[in-house]
Amino acid sequence: MQTMDSFNFAGKKAFVRVDFNVPLDENFHITDDTRIRAAVPTLKKILRDGGSVIIGSHLGRPKGATDKFSLRHILPRVSELLGVDVQFAGDCIGSETEAKAAALRPGEALLLENLRFYAEEEGKPRGLAENATEEETASAKKAVKETQKEFTKKLASYADVYVNDAFGTAHRAHASTALIADHFDAEHKLFGYLLQNEITAVEKVMKDTERPFTAIMGGSKVSSKIEIIRNLLDKVDNLILAGGMTYTFAKAFGGNIGDSIVENDKLDLARELVEMAKEKGVNLVLATDAKIADSFSNDAKTNFASVKEIPNGWEGLDIGPESEKLFTEVIRNSKTILWNGPVGVFEFDNFDRGSRAVSDAIVEATRKGAFSLVGGGDSVACVNKFGHADQVSYVSTGGGALLEMIEGKVLPGIKAIRGY
Q: What residues are annotated to the active site?
A: 35, 221, 377, 400
d(CA 180, CA 78): 24
Closest approach, Cβ 345 to ligand AMP, in A, equals 4
Q: How far is the CB of 402 from ligand AMP (least distance, A)?
A: 12
The residue sitting closest to ligand AMP, measured at its beta carbon, is 219
Cα distance between the two ends of the chain: 12
Alpha carbon distance 268, 249 (integer Å): 9
Contacts 24+ apart (CB under 8 A), 303-309: 306/255, 307/246, 307/247, 307/250, 307/255, 307/257, 308/250, 308/253, 308/254, 308/255, 308/256, 308/257, 309/255, 309/256
Residue with Cβ nearer ligand AMP (4 or 262)? 262
Nearer to ligand AMP, 160 or 378 (CB): 378
Q: How far is the CB of 33 from ligand AMP (least distance, A)?
A: 23
CB of 77 to ligand AMP, least distance (A): 28
What is the residue type of 77?
R
Q: How many of the other CB atoms lie within 10 Å of CB of 359?
A: 29
Cα–Cα distance between 10 and 418 in angstroms, integer? Answer: 23
Smaller CB distance to ligand AMP: residue 19 or 263? Answer: 263
Q: Which is nearer to ligand AMP, 294 or 378 (CB)?
A: 378
Residues 6+ apart with CB under 8 A from 374: 339, 340, 362, 380, 382, 383, 392, 394, 395, 396
| Least spacing, CB of residue 27 vs ligand AMP, in Å | 27
Q: Are 400 and 21 in contact (CB under 8 A)?
A: no
Return the number of the residue (168 or 219) whose C-beta is nearest ligand AMP. 219
Between residues 40 and 382, which has the closer beta carbon with respect to ligand AMP? 382
| Of 390, 316, 392, 322, residue with least CA distance to 361 | 392
Give the closest residue to 330 by CA, choosing from 367, 292, 357, 290: 357
Q: Which residues bind to ligand AMP, rule: CB under 6 A? A: 218-221, 224, 243-244, 261, 316-317, 341-342, 344-345, 347, 378
Name the strands in the sheet holding 189-191, side by side, starting at the edge strand that comes first in the sequence: 87-89, 109-112, 52-56, 13-17, 161-164, 189-191
Q: How far is the CB of 354 from ligand AMP (least distance, A)?
A: 9
Contact 56, 164 (CB under 8 A): no
The span from the CA of 206 to the CA of 234, in Å, is 10
DSSP state of 97: H
Provide the minimum distance between the beta carbon of 341 and ligand AMP in the complex, in angstroms, as a whole number.
Answer: 4
Give the nearer residue to ligand AMP in terms of CB position, either 113 or 259: 259
Tell the smallest beta-carbon distance from residue 19 to ligand AMP (Å). Answer: 19
Of 159 and 401, which has the nearer Cβ to ligand AMP?
401
C-alpha distances (whole Å) from 369 to each of 132, 202, 331, 336, 373 are 57, 17, 12, 9, 13
